[in-house]
Structure 1
Amino acid sequence: MRLGIRIFLVYFLFVGLAGYFLLNTVREQIRPVVRQSSEETLVDTANLLAEILHDDVKAGTLNQSRLPEVLKAYGSRSPGAQIWGLAKNQVSHRIYVTDAKGTVLLDSSGEDLGKDYSKWNDVYLTLRGQYGARSTRSDPDDESTSVMHVGAPIIDDGKIIGVVTVAKPNSSLQPYIDRSERRLLTLGLGLIGLGLLIGAALSWWLARSLRRLARYAQAVSEGERAALPHYKGGELAHLAQAVERMRTQLEGKAYVERYVHTLTHELKSPLAAIRGASELLQGNDMPADQRARFAGNIERESERLQQMIERLLNLARVEQMQALEDEQQVALAALVDELLLAHAARIEGADLQVRQRVPAGLRLLCDPFLMRQALANLLDNALDFTPEGGALLFDLERDGERVALSVFNQGQAIPAYAIGRVSERFYSLPRPGSGRKSTGLGLNFVAEVMQLHGGALAVDNVDGGVRVRLWLPVRRIS
């Protein structure tokens, strides 16, 4: 299972469980909180009525006053109120009054007048100077039939002469509880969903960042050139920098070892030629023409060493680069024309036929210095293998999402054993006519420059000669 999925599942489990327990806890608190608020209101109402009814209870004229009619009228009222969007169309308070013995003197419902309520907690406790309240179900098996009762003492000269109780059915509060629970559930699920989306995004970002770093490490381990992923601070940035430092140290060590080995091998031949020619030149009896020939050998081998050193330095610089440092829009046709002009003497001396068919308005996004060196090496190589009177053709090809600068030179085909090795470092074929080899670094340099630009070097035998193509992503062409 992928790391991102594992992180998301852990986050999902944590957020889901935390959200469930939080919602459940809050939901369980809604019902008692609403009932506590209602009970507090009942206490106020009962105590207010206790003061209002004091005189009638003391005088025994409770049923002789207008109070029974008032309570009856109260029970039939329809408030038509909108309380936070919920309609209230009937009153729900029941009010009854008992004497000091607990006998019901007045009942707004008219049901229990004259009955003994002295055993009910609201009356029993209040008559004994305590807080009297109860919650009683009309149907013991149905919680929704529960009714809250709160009693208040009617006091005369410090003596309790009666109790007034205000009752309210919990069913009248249920719509408000249900609405609060629905809103809480909707809001809670929304927040959990948002939290999961954020968690999914964070998991995706972290997994993507780690995959980029893993791909970079994999590419480096396979010897490919890859750009170091960029992170804005934090542990990932430190990890990426640590991986890059490790790569630099390992590559630097391997690079030096490889170059010392190959350079030592390649320097043996020209140094041996120079040493042999110099030893022969030390003799005094050598004819002048032989002396001139050996001196020429020393000069040629010295020049070859100089070219090898210069190209090695350029190649080393390119191989150590992980990404292009200076990208600009360059007119490709103008760059090719500039190089052809620089080699005009050599082209005219060999009577070569050159055709340049790169579109004049085409621009290439590249490192101008590296691209110029790569094309110069490519042109040098083509001129070396094109016979007198031969042809050179510069053209542009396109294949899907990539485009190529194609260079065709008329001449002999590359041997089958060498076609796959021409871009290897220090690998070179004898030049037609002279039989001499080059440094073997030109096409290797071109291949490295192409990799830096996200492209590739391709060398093929075609009818009448050799075609070299520099493949580049089409996004670099405009």
Structure 2
Amino acid sequence: MNRLFNRLFLVATMIVLLLFVALWQWLQLNHEFSRNQIQQSLHQELAEHMAHINPLLSQGITSDAALKEAFHDFMLLGPSFEIYTLDPDGKVIAYDAKEEKIKTHRVDTGIIKQFLAGKNLPILGTDPRSQQTKKIFSASKLVNAQGLHSGYLYVIIGGEDYDSWQALINAENQPKIWGATIGFWVIFALLLFVILLHYFTRPIHKLAQDLTNLKTLPITEKLTLPDRYRGSLEIAQLSEHINQLLQEIQQQQQQVKRQQQAKHDFLLHLSHDLKTPLTALLGYIDTWLILPEADRDQALIQYAANSGQTLQQLLAQLLELAALENGQIHAQLQQVELTELLNGIEQTFTPRAKKLGVILNFKHINATSILTDPQLMRRILNNLIDNALRYTPSGGEITILTQQDFSQGKNQQWLAVKDTGSGMHQHEVEALRQLSLSQTDTPQQHQRSFDNNQALPQLGVGLAIVRQLLGLLKCKIEVESQPGVGSEFKIELVMQS
């Protein structure tokens, strides 16, 4: 029953049946009304003529036995009439019928008075042979020789015999009438159903054609349905929803392409990052193996070990980046003392910085409490400082400090990581800026920052991790860098309220 065809067929059938029943009842009532009106109009003066031509009735006699013979003669001439005399109160006095056929011995004289007063026909009166049925009649007022009202002559038009013959004829003709009527209505229902089906399914047919045409178009083109479904509100709404879905599909397809291109570029960068320490590791080992035992230098093994550690670090970062992208890491914000967090980082990187000949300065650190996830913030700073150590030559300097910005009525606290390394190109700086999420951004604004049509340039694995972690912490970052001069990363701190 959920199919449109079945629903339309059921609705059309029910409507046709209801119309048929209503029309049939109306025709029956109208036919009966018209027939009664015609019959009563034709025989309106019948009782008066009968009373005039009969000597006894003309003298106002209502109860003489001789009247029965007159009634019998009248009914032979008109077998569809039943004749009665009534007293002034409507009591039945004389009639030509068996006693057991009379069911009611009193007739409503009020109806008779309406008839004599010339009210609109048809007027239905009491049928003495039935306690419930009302029939059309003719009536005449009887007046005796003294001029007094002695009763009424009351004639039922279409009496018991008429009803019997009418029922017999109806029983014979009714199947034919019903058969012809049902056949007509079946044909009418089929025509109505075809018209309704064509009307209701025309928008669906157009929609199906348009969707078929869209299948032949490449997904790179702008896919949309034409606005021509005004015949049906539901189909028009459906076409609008389909257009919205098509736009979302195209946007997602474009985003998937950008992501695929970004992953491809990232894999190229990653393969280069992995290939460098792996090549060095294998080179040092091969050199150590081909040298005579007396000439083998332990420094080669140390260089190989360093390359292995670098490779291990890259693999660990790669796994961390995958966990971030899969949503397996969540931020747990809490109150953290900034000085304690930086003291731990200083202890971690100071030995390495001395070994590389790089000056590591933690200065102007304000003792303040911030709202952050200490683990995630430590990873961000570890990656930034590690990245600075790798690109800062011996004799260079890395500075970690806090800054405050009171310009334009602001009161912002920043944590900066500055180095004098090789710096970054402008497109890499823009990539990190666009992928950072500020503290005041909504998720919708953040999503739009990723929906630009141009694929963003790839960053290193460490900065890619920084990018993801900043998004979790909802921290804003500002980057200033020049190739050959150095870089500065400034992270806005969320203060504990």
Shared fold, TM over 0.5: no
TM-score range, shorter chain: 0.3 to 0.5
Larger-Rg structure:
2
In the superposition, the TM-score normalised over structure 1's length comes to 0.43
In the superposition, the TM-score normalised over structure 2's length comes to 0.42
